[in-house]
Amino acid sequence: MKTWKTGEEGEKTGIEKLVENFTAGADVGYDQCLAEYDIYGSIAHVHALEKLDLVTSPEAKKLRNGLRKLLEKDISLDAGDEDIHSKVENEITDALGELGKKLHTARSRNDQVLVDIRLFTKAELFRIVRELLSLVESLLYFGSSQSDTPMVGFTHYRKAMPSSVGLWAGSYAEALLDDLTLLEANLELIDQSPLGAGAGYGIPVNLDRELTAETLGFSRVQNNAIYVMNSRGKFEFNLLSAVASVQLDLSRLASDLISFSDKEFNFFEIPEKFTTGSSIMPQKKNPDVLELVRGRSASFPGHLSSLFSLLHGLRSGYSRDLQETKKSLIVGLGDTGDSLAVLAPLVSGLGVNEEELMDAFSGEVFATDRVFELVKDGLPFREAYRRVKNNLDSQVEEVSEDQIRGSISSRNHPGGPGNLGLGEKKNLLERSKEKWAERESRFVDCLRELRKPEGSSEKYEDQKPKAGNNE
């Protein structure tokens, strides 16, 4: 039964079913991902009701323990439930009778869904960061193990200058560490509790918003009640913009690996367990995993465009349009976590064909080196450039290993192939792992405390939020 209706609901007419399916149909699938978090938010809210004497301490205890029992149930929704908030309230009312009807006192489904989304998003963000740091670790250690392995560098899809496998791998590790800075800024945004803003205009009781924020593991309260409503969708847009930056790097990494593992290059070998076969061609070992990583990143312009278009014309306050933001958020975060998770072990298992890498070097790759040899002899750069360019056809195509390695080692400025600086990035990685693990631990500890029965001194096993579900 819908919580905003009064009286008993009879058999629905055709129009009522049509409207119900239109307003709630697909959305209940995304609400399924929020079920756990809706219950956590309700447990915290009961603490605030108890402090205001809107429920007695015995009533509060019954409500919280009733909600905890729901955490152990497999809550499934259909269109008739309308949303997870109504489902949880109806479940607790069925279990506790009239007492269950007090659960929604002093809140709206508007601030309730925001709490659910914020908690879900934090859990997903922590998962994404864990997987991102794992991929960075794979790239750094792969790059370190191949730091001296020569590799031709390309521009415009053409051979350009001497480079190394270490420089290539390190470039993606550094890119992802920069993305981490964007994710950290977004954690700062979403780590604000919206509970207590009601439908955007406050609640006519002195609700202790700091109490519920602390109970749920938020770092602070989001202050202005109207802005709480206006931030829905905006925060999702900002986060998915940061996640889109991660996806750009993953897509380019996937494209590189698809190309460089092809027989035309044969620089790398993708581990066989990350390839698939053909139903008709027995020789095929297809890079489907990498193609899907690249393909799923292609959905992000759509996610961002959808969110921006939904938001830009809305007046302040809540509008039902905002319901449509859930899909982009849940799917976008889930796809990113999954792509990161599959790439880390793939990179760790990459094979390197050093002979093929060396054979790819040819005379023109050293054209810039020859320019600088003349410059070091005192010739102006533009004159040296002209002389080398005019004599390209006379250059010997065969090159020696000493020439290749000497060219790479000569590029010994910070960040060059002769001075990768991977040790510094490994140190940054370890600091980041420690910092983010501590943040996630605090979050998980708060949710674990909410699961404990009243007066319990039991030590529960760590149970991380159910992140990563984008079904």
Same domain, 99 and 177: no
> Residue 461: which region, alpha, beta or left (left: phi > 0; alpha: psi -120 to 50)?
beta
Instruction: Answer whether residue 7 is part of any domain.
Output: no
Q: Looking at residue 16, what is its pLDDT?
A: 79
Report the percent of the chain where pLDDT is more than 70.
93
Please state the domain count of the chain. Answer: 3
Q: Looking at residue 281, what is its pLDDT?
A: 81
Q: Looking at residue 466, what is its pLDDT?
A: 57
CATH number at residue 115: 1.20.200.10
Same domain, 64 and 95: yes
pLDDT band at 459 (very low <50, low <70, confident <90, very high): very low
pLDDT band at 204 (very low <50, low <70, confident <90, very high): very high
Q: Which of 54-63, 90-99, 201-210, 394-403 has the lowest mean pLDDT?
A: 394-403
Average pLDDT, integer, range 118-138: 98
CATH number at residue 72: 1.10.275.10
Q: Sign of torsion, CA 104 209 45 462? A: positive
Same domain, 41 and 126: no
Largest CA distance in the chain: 94
CB within 8 A of 263, min separation 6: which ones?
none
Instruction: Answer whether residue 169 is part of any domain.
Output: yes
Q: Looking at residue 383, what is its pLDDT?
A: 96
Q: Looking at residue 25, what is its pLDDT?
A: 65
Q: Looking at residue 464, what is its pLDDT?
A: 53
Average pLDDT, integer, range 302-323: 93
Same domain, 390 and 313: no
Same domain, 197 and 325: yes
Same domain, 230 and 337: yes
Q: Looking at residue 3, what is its pLDDT?
A: 63
Same domain, 31 and 81: yes
Q: Strand pairing of 268-269 and 351-352?
A: antiparallel
Is the pLDDT at 471 greater than 80? The verdict is no
Q: Looking at residue 146, what is its pLDDT?
A: 97
Instruction: Answer whether residue 295 is part of any domain.
Output: yes
Q: Which of 105, 133, 156 is the endpoint of a domain? A: 105
Which of 156, 279, 394, 457 is catalytic? The answer is: 156
Q: Over the chain, what is the mean pLDDT? A: 91
Same domain, 241 and 148: yes
Average pLDDT, integer, range 300-320: 93
Instruction: Answer whether residue 299 is part of any domain.
Output: yes
Q: Looking at residue 20, what is its pLDDT?
A: 75
Q: Which of 105, 137, 170 is the endpoint of a domain? A: 105
Q: Looking at residue 11, what is its pLDDT?
A: 65
Reference 150, options 424, 353, 348; nearest CA is 353
Query: Per-residue pLDDT tens for 320-379?
Result: 889 899 999 999 999 999 999 999 999 999 999 999 999 999 999 999 999 999 999 999
Take residue 456 and report the two structure tokens written for it: 């319990």
**Side chain identity at residue 85, one-letter code:** H
Burial 40-78 (b: 16+ CB within 10 A, else e): bbbbbbbbbbbeeebbeeebbbbbbbbbbebbeeebebe
Instruction: Answer whether residue 418 is part of any domain.
Output: no
Reference 321, options 117, 27, 120; nearest CA is 27
Average pLDDT, integer, range 162-174: 98
Q: Looking at residue 78, what is its pLDDT?
A: 76
The neighbour count for residue 381, using CB atoms within 10 Å, is 11
312 counts as catalytic = no
259 counts as catalytic = no
Take residue 458 and report the two structure tokens written for it: 């039991």
Q: Looking at residue 8, what is its pLDDT?
A: 57
Domain range for 388: 363-398
Instruction: Answer whether residue 199 is part of any domain.
Output: yes
Which of 57, 76, 145, 278 is catalytic? The answer is: 278
Instruction: Answer whether residue 456 is part of any domain.
Output: no
Q: Looking at residue 469, what is its pLDDT?
A: 47
CA dihedral 214, 220, 221, 227 (to 10 degrees): -150
Same domain, 101 and 138: no
Same domain, 80 and 184: no
Same domain, 194 and 300: yes
Query: Per-residue pLDDT tens for 69-95?
Result: 999 988 887 777 778 888 899 999 999
Instruction: Answer whether residue 421 is part of any domain.
Output: no
Q: Strand pairing of 150-155 and 158-164?
A: antiparallel
Query: Per-residue pLDDT tens for 380-419?
Result: 999 999 999 998 887 666 789 999 999 999 999 999 999 9
Is the pLDDT at 213 greater than 60? The verdict is yes
Same domain, 120 and 101: no
Please report the beta strands in 198-270, taking only residues with DSSP state E, as ranges in sequence order: 220-221, 268-269
CA distance linking residue 66 with residue 171, whole number of Å: 52
Q: Which of 352, 371, 389 is the endpoint of a domain? A: 352
Is the pLDDT at 9 greater than 60? The verdict is no
pTM, two decimal places: 0.92
Average pLDDT, integer, range 414-438: 97
